[in-house]
Amino acid sequence: MKLMKIVALAMFAAFAGAVPAKAFCLVNCEPKAEDARKVFENLIKDKFDKDAVIEKFEVTRFWPLDVEGAGHAGYEFYFKASVKFPKGANPQCKPEGGAPKAGCSDNTSYYSTTIQNQMIKDKQYIEPGRVIDFSDETRFDQEGSKWKGQDGNMY
């Protein structure tokens, strides 16, 4: 009987080591601040520059959402972040006097990765070495036992 328990525990340990920790989540499975940071990082690198460096990231508020009419839960994070752009961003949009180039925004006072609120859809030029402060938000939508971030990835 002891041998069977030992074998069962060994098999469980081997299985547990092979499966990601999130697969065993039964309690407190909501997305975390680290997940919000990863979504923000992915969106920054996609929208602005892959070499951008997040120097500061601080969640200021967060809460669960009941997404009315959608039939699923959500989770929302508000945060402040500082991002350094060593190589700048979107050099094709560098202003050269006159009107902005096609597909480029001339807005240099507001930057956001938010998909739903106040997002500037056109590309924005950022000078090399500049640090941009973001006051932004991101949302996760529950899909089964996982959470889909605004970057399209599951957390």
User: pLDDT tens across 96-137, in order?
Assistant: 887 889 999 999 889 999 866 677 889 999 999 999 999 999
Nearest to 111 by CA among 40, 51, 58, 56: 40
In a domain, 19, yes or no: no
Q: What is the mean pLDDT of residues 65-80?
A: 86
In a domain, 23, yes or no: no
Confidence of residue 67 (pLDDT cuts 50, 70, 90): confident
In a domain, 73, yes or no: yes
In a domain, 154, yes or no: no
- More confident call, 81 vs 116: 81
| Spatial distance between the Cα atoms of 16 and 149, rounded to a whole number of angstroms | 26
In a domain, 22, yes or no: no
99: containing domain: 29-148
| Spatial distance between the Cα atoms of 100 and 103, rounded to a whole number of angstroms | 8
Name the 3-class secondary structure at 52.
coil
Tell me if the pTM is above 0.85: no
| Token pair belonging to 51 | 């070499």
CB 124 within 8 A of CB 104: yes
Q: How many domains does the chain have?
A: 1
pLDDT recorded at residue 21: 44
- Going across the sheet that includes 130-143, the strands are 53-67, 72-85, 130-143, 146-148
In a domain, 39, yes or no: yes
- More confident call, 96 vs 75: 75
In a domain, 134, yes or no: yes
Confidence of residue 7 (pLDDT cuts 50, 70, 90): very low
